[in-house]
Amino acid sequence: MSAIGTTSNLGVLANWFNRRRGTATGIASAGIGVGTMLLVPAAEYITTVAGWRAAYIFLALVVALTVPAITFFFQRHRPEDMGLQPDGATASRAPGSGRPVPQMRVVDKAWAARNWTVRAAVGTRAFWLLFFGFMFSTWSHQPIMIHQVAYLSDRGFEPMLGAMLVGLVGLAASLGKVFWGWLSDRIGREGAYTLGMACVFFGIIFLGLVTDASRESLLYAYALFFGIGYGVFSPMSSAISADLFQGRSFASIYGLLWVGSGAGSSLGPWLCAALFDATGAYTLSFAVSLVAAVASVAAFWLAAPRKVRQVPGVAARAQRTRQALAQGR
């Protein structure tokens, strides 16, 4: 799953886009949410009709018949391998107009020019801030994703409603991934990530307020807020990492950072279950997820990709401000 998932695909995608890196990774990451929306209810239905073994065979066939073919025919590691350039062109002005195309602005030229290897990256404070930012981010949302159906079953909801809710979260996440990627190219990675995790924060609160089956309306508020917010992690993790450690070894560095994500994805759901067994409720588990969400935001702000590269929207506004000040003088 790691070999065919986010790590390898977004590691490759970062090579192809500079100017619209956030938007591109957001669109690509939206496929995860679409898959969740379609496959979770389908697997639940097949399990109900034919049993869990049939559902597993169905999921295996989906992977075996689609992923290798799509990867073989369409994926290419770097644009330079095909005689191309990132973003598809080298033109500095928009086609058919005289307006300049907003570009990424390098702030820290020494950092950006460095030949980043895994060893060099691991020796930096920014790498470890990202590592723990990844860990706390998945720690905040993976326990919710894993335990949400059990939580709702304990409150009297049917399992199929839980599966449909997971699908709705996936749909909202797909929309969120595109939106956060687009927004990050305009206001910056840290700002977009903060807004996304704020949605996760409030989504968890809405879920915690669902005490019985009579409060079904809160489920849809949860699915909307949590799903849209959950969508922020994949595009921002790739874009922030590439802003800091762009280069020929980026995929290796990104893969190592995802060890932190894996740690959060494994420890978070386990701790959530352990706390439930100890207390008989999810209250403390949800509180831990809320703290982890705040910690991940803090880690990404401290990693400060804005101090290495300014996204096109921020760079364009800064340029307009400088021009206005110069004209005023």
Percent of all residues in the chain with a pLDDT value above 90, rounded to a whole number: 44
Q: How many CB atoms lie within 10 A of CB 259?
A: 13
pLDDT greater than 60 at residue 121:
yes
Residue range 134-159: mean pLDDT, rounded: 88
CA angle 273, 300, 251 (to 5 degrees): 90
More confident position, 297 or 153: 297
pLDDT greater than 90 at residue 52:
yes
CATH fourth-level superfamily of 6-80+104-328: MFS general substrate transporter like domains (1.20.1250.20)
pLDDT greater than 80 at residue 266:
yes
> Quick one: pLDDT at residue 100?
59
Query: Is the distance from CB of 176 to CB of 230 less than 8 angstroms?
Result: yes
> Quick one: pLDDT at residue 99?
58
- Give the contacts of 211 (CB within 8 A, at least 6 positions apart): 155
Helices 159-187 and 189-208 sit at what angle, rounded to 10 degrees? Answer: 160
Measured CA to CA, the distance from residue 84 to residue 16 in angstroms comes to 9
Percent of all residues in the chain with a pLDDT value above 70, rounded to a whole number: 95
Measured CA to CA, the distance from residue 29 to residue 135 in angstroms comes to 19
State how far Cα 283 lies from the chain centre: 25
Beta strands per DSSP E along the chain: 105-106, 309-310
Measured CA to CA, the distance from residue 173 to residue 169 in angstroms comes to 6
Residue range 293-302: mean pLDDT, rounded: 97
Q: Quick one: pLDDT band at residue 97, thresholds 50, 70, 90?
A: low
Residue range 77-87: mean pLDDT, rounded: 81
More confident position, 235 or 166: 235
Measured CA to CA, the distance from residue 140 to residue 137 in angstroms comes to 5
Residue range 313-325: mean pLDDT, rounded: 79
What distance, in Å, lies between the first and last C-alpha atoms of the chain?
A: 58
Q: What are the residue ranges spanned by the domains of the chain?
A: 6-80+104-328
> Quick one: pLDDT at residue 93?
52
Tokens matching residue 79: 């644009």
pLDDT greater than 80 at residue 64:
yes
> Quick one: pLDDT at residue 12?
80
- Give the contacts of 61 (CB within 8 A, at least 6 positions apart): none
> Quick one: pLDDT at residue 101?
62
Tokens matching residue 249: 């070894």
Measured CA to CA, the distance from residue 284 to residue 102 in angstroms comes to 46
The residue among 266, 199, 141, 192 whose CA lies nearest residue 25 is 192
Measured CA to CA, the distance from residue 147 to residue 44 in angstroms comes to 16
Query: Is the distance from CB of 218 to CB of 210 less than 8 angstroms?
Result: yes
Q: Quick one: pLDDT band at residue 102, thresholds 50, 70, 90?
A: low
State how far Cα 238 lies from the chain centre: 8
Tokens matching residue 312: 């096109």
Residue range 6-32: mean pLDDT, rounded: 79
More confident position, 129 or 185: 129
More confident position, 1 or 284: 284
> Quick one: pLDDT at residue 86?
80
Measured CA to CA, the distance from residue 94 to residue 96 in angstroms comes to 6
Q: Quick one: pLDDT band at residue 89, thresholds 50, 70, 90?
A: low
More confident position, 295 or 102: 295
Tokens matching residue 305: 């990709």
pLDDT greater than 60 at residue 96:
no
Residue range 125-134: mean pLDDT, rounded: 97
Q: Quick one: pLDDT band at residue 217, thresholds 50, 70, 90?
A: confident
- Give the contacts of 133 (CB within 8 A, at least 6 positions apart): 260, 296, 299, 300, 303
What does the DSSP 8-state code read for residue 310? Answer: E
CA angle 244, 309, 31 (to 5 degrees): 65
Q: What pTM was computed for the model?
A: 0.80
Give the lowest-confidence range in 8-12, 180-184, 227-231. 8-12
Q: Quick one: pLDDT band at residue 205, thresholds 50, 70, 90?
A: very high
pLDDT greater than 80 at residue 258:
yes
